[in-house]
């Protein structure tokens, strides 16, 4: 586990690892094969096993709020980390052709194994400067308009679409409202529901409300194990319903926003397993697992004709929702 | 002459406290003017001083639009289910029950079909008093059914929106109602039928960011607050003062977001004319 950035609940593991590191230093000082050296080595082995067990325990009992923190982890892989690893020859395309290029959404053509696809995703920044440049992954209307431009192009040229969801939400700003943030989101949702090519949606981090759904309507919706998807952020929900933003952990639980919850509620179709400790602990393995799922699902979707695909997609969303209808 | 003893103290814009007997007088939430209730009712619930259009309930809204006796309600028995077992400071179940009891309506939407100046149409109106007109599974389902019925019957659709957005108590299901209703509208558009969206004070969040902004024609009532994010959220995010009139109908007309602003008294005639010109489908 990386020592620099860890979450509060990972502390016991980090402390054990510190101890192991110290022992390793001690072992280096001892003469090889001396009694001290051997006891150090066996102690290191014992502690390493203990650390792994502890980490497994912690990660098999995460609260929704802890999962939310993992989904927002500063080291978590973002869309551009996956475009480099899941695909080859990613060529980024820019701009909505109307106003500007929105760096909070990236998109372009790429090869998934031997098949050309259109890839679109939210993009957060890693450094302070990049965070501002990417607007913390919160798109403006032009970001959504770029996305739908690329998706419509993909439809016309018969390329499947793969989207990556990772946003706190659509940007709440003056310009965003003036340029029709709501219209941009609504239009994308409607157009995506009728695009004549297969669409696979993968929630890789934070699925923040309408800002996520605006590139999130598809034939298959996957969620990484420690990703979340919700109608409102737990902080926002707590502030409105509990009148106390600090009740976010309670709200996170009430909203049922983890990958497991959404799979159980039949909103997502599949959970993609993450490496122990989360996607950021082993990006290569994470990308490999994700790639396998995308290749498999795309092959599966190939079986359907355009009409079947559209009917299935319509039905998928048409059936979402629970209500009661009294007969007389 | 006071019929009710209840008294409620309000603050005038100038800061002078006035005692307003409840029931006979109402205060305009826009300009603060105290108005005799009978007078404002005669005026279609529009403030005579500032022209703010007061919120009116769904029943009254549709009765102002449809020709007398022409309206037939659909799906009035659809009822919300507390699928997440949601509890904040109050249980979702209890919130539903209390709204149902006071408003005599199962959820936040009234829909059906009828005639507007002789033009047949299907229409829905939000009940804002029902949990802020929030959209959960029932609202999403009723709107989707309305649109599908209109496709089957080759009919136009009018939706009067007035909503705080998605209903948080239904979690992800409420978000997915945006996808469900927009998908239905996608089909509707392909069928070549016209949809008129009427935005009332206030229309926000997931309702604006779905069917409300997808009208072939988008109309708003004067001064209606319409947007994706609420003004308070925007102010807190960008830490700037918002421009005068921000997110009001007049501001949105200027920015090209809506087609027109129509006064309540002209709404029926405007809709009737539009429906006539848009036919035959």
Tens digit of each residue's pLDDT, chain A (328 residues): 444 678 999 999 999 999 999 988 888 888 888 888 888 888 899 999 999 999 999 999 999 999 999 999 999 999 999 999 999 999 999 999 999 999 999 999 999 999 999 999 999 999 999 999 999 999 999 999 999 999 999 999 999 999 999 999 999 999 999 999 999 999 999 999 999 999 999 999 999 999 999 999 999 999 999 999 999 999 999 999 999 989 999 999 999 999 999 999 999 999 999 999 999 999 999 999 999 999 999 999 999 999 999 999 999 999 999 999 987 6
Among B90, B93, B142, B209, which would you mutate to test the A interface (most chain A Cβ atoms within 10 Å of its Cβ)?
B209
Whether B36 and B143 share a structural domain: no
Q: Which residues of B touch A325 (CB under 8 A)?
A: 75, 77-79
Residue of A nearest to B167 (CA): A231
pLDDT above 70: residue B9: no
- CB–CB of A193 and B183 under 8 A? yes
Total structural domains within chain B: 2
Which residue from A177, A190, A213 is facing B186, i.e. has the nearest CB?
A: A190
- CB–CB of B227 and A255 under 8 A? no
pLDDT of residue A28: 84
Whether B37 and B81 share a structural domain: no
- CB–CB of A209 and B180 under 8 A? no
Q: Which residues of A touch B141 (CB under 8 A)?
A: 321, 323
Boundary of a domain, candidates B38, B54, B70: B54
Q: What are phi and psi of A25, to 5 degrees?
A: -65, -45
- CB–CB of A323 and B81 under 8 A? yes
Whether B244 and B134 share a structural domain: yes
Residue predicted with more confidence, B120 or B21: B120
Whether B235 and B128 share a structural domain: yes
Whether B16 and B140 share a structural domain: no
Counting Cα atoms < 13 Å in the Cβ hemisphere of B219 gives: 17
pLDDT of residue A198: 98
- Convert the pLDDT of each residue in B105-143 to its tens digit: 999 999 999 999 999 999 999 999 999 999 999 999 999
Among B175, B226, B233, which would you mutate to test the A interface (most chain A Cβ atoms within 10 Å of its Cβ)?
B175
**Residue B21: pLDDT band by 50, 70, 90 thresholds?**
low
Residue of B nearest to A252 (CA): B171
Whether B65 and B145 share a structural domain: yes
Boundary of a domain, candidates B32, B54, B76: B54
- CB–CB of B212 and A182 under 8 A? yes
Whether B23 and B72 share a structural domain: no
pLDDT above 50: residue B10: no
Residue of B nearest to A182 (CA): B209
**Residue B2: pLDDT band by 50, 70, 90 thresholds?**
very low
Whether B133 and B150 share a structural domain: yes
Residue of B nearest to A184 (CA): B209
Whether B205 and B154 share a structural domain: yes
Which residue from A181, A189, A242 is facing B178, i.e. has the nearest CB?
A: A189
pLDDT of residue B19: 62
What pTM does this model have?
Answer: 0.93
ipTM of the complex: 0.94
- Convert the pLDDT of each residue in B158-206 to its tens digit: 999 999 999 999 999 999 999 999 999 999 999 999 999 999 999 999 9
Whether B88 and B7 share a structural domain: no
pLDDT above 50: residue B239: yes
Instruction: Give the structural domain span for B7.
Output: 1-54
pLDDT of residue A327: 79
Give the closest-approach CA distance of B89 to chain A in angstroms. Answer: 6
CATH number, domain at B161?
Answer: 3.90.226.10
- CB–CB of B171 and A231 under 8 A? yes
Whether B5 and B99 share a structural domain: no
Q: HEC string of chain B?
A: CCCCCCEEEEECCCCCEEEEEECCEEECCCCCCEEEHHHHHHCCCECCCCCCECCCCHHHHHHCCCCCCCCEEECCCEEECCCCCCECCCEHHHHHHHHHHHHCCCCCEEEEEEEECCEEEEEEEECCCCHHHCECHHHHHHHHHHHHHHHHCCCCEEEEEEECCECHHHHHHHHHHHHHHHHHHHHHHHCCCCEEEEEEEEECHHHHCCHHHHCCEEEECCCCEECCCCHHHHHHHHCCCCCCCCCEHHHHHHCCCCCEECCHHHHHHHHHHHHHHHCCC
- CB–CB of B81 and A267 under 8 A? no
Whether B84 and B188 share a structural domain: yes
pLDDT of residue B7: 40
């Amino acid at each position: 586990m990386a020592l620099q950035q860890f979450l509060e609940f990972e502390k016991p593991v980090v402390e054990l690892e510190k101890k192991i590191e110290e022992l390793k230093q001690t072992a280096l000082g001892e003469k090889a094969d001396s009694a001290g050296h051997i006891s150090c080595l066996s102690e290191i082995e014992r502690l390493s096993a203990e650390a792994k067990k502890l980490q497994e325990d912690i990660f098999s009992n995460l609260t929704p709020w802890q999962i939310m923190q993992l989904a927002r982890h500063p080291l978590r892989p973002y869309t551009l980390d996956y475009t480099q690893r899941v695909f080859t020859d990613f060529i980024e395309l820019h701009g909505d052709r109307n106003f500007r290029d929105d760096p909070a959404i990236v998109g372009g053509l790429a090869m998934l194994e031997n098949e050309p696809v259109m890839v679109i995703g939210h993009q957060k920044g890693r450094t302070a400067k990049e965070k501002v440049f990417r607007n913390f992954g919160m798109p403006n209307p032009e970001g959504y308009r770029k996305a739908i431009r690329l998706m419509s192009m993909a439809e016309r040229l018969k390329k499947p679409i793969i989207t990556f969801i990772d946003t706190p939400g659509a940007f709440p700003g003056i310009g965003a409202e003036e340029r029709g943030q709501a219209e941009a989101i609504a239009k994308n949702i409607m157009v995506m529901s009728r695009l004549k090519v297969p669409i696979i949606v993968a929630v890789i981090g934070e699925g923040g409300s309408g800002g996520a759904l605006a590139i999130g309507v598809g034939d298959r919706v996957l969620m990484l194990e420690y990703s979340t998807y919700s109608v409102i952020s737990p902080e926002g929900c707590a502030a409105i319903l509990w009148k106390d933003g600090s009740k976010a952990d309670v709200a996170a639980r009430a909203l049922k926003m983890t990958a497991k919850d959404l799979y159980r509620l039949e909103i997502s179709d599949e959970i993609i397993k993450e490496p122990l400790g989360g996607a950021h602990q082993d990006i290569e393995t994470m990308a490999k697992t994700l790639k396998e799922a995308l290749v498999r699902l795309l092959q599966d979707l190939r079986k359907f004709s355009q009409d079947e695909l559209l009917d299935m997609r319509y039905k998928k969303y048409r059936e979402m929702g629970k209500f009661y209808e009294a007969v007389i | 002459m006071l019929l009710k003893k209840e008294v409620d103290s309000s603050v005038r814009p100038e800061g002078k406290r006035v005692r307003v007997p409840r029931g006979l007088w109402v205060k305009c939430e826009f300009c603060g003017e105290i108005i005799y209730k009978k007078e404002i009712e005669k005026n279609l619930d529009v403030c005579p001083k500032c022209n703010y259009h007061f919120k009116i309930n769904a029943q009254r809204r549709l009765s102002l639009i449809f020709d007398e006796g022409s309206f037939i309600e659909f799906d009035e028995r659809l009822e919300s289910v507390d699928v997440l077992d949601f509890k904040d400071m109050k249980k979702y179940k209890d919130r539903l029950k209390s709204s149902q009891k006071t408003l005599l309506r199962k959820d936040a939407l009234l829909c059906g079909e009828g005639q507007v100046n002789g033009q047949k149409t299907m229409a829905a109106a939000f009940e804002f008093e029902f949990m802020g007109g929030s959209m959960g599974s029932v609202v999403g389902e009723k709107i989707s059914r309305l649109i599908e019925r209109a496709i089957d019957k080759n009919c136009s659709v009018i939706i009067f929106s007035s909503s705080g957005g998605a209903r948080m108590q239904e979690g992800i299901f409420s978000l997915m109602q945006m996808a469900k209703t927009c998908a239905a509208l996608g089909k509707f558009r392909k069928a070549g039928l016209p949809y008129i969206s009427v935005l009332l004070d206030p229309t926000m969040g997931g309702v604006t960011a779905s069917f409300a902004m997808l009208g072939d024609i988008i109309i708003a009532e004067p001064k209606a607050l319409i947007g994706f994010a609420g003004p308070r959220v925007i102010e807190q995010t960008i830490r700037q003062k918002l421009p005068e009139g921000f997110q009001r109908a007049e501001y949105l007309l200027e920015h090209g977001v809506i087609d027109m602003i129509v006064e309540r008294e002209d709404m029926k005639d405007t809709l009737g004319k539009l429906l006539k010109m848009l036919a035959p489908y």
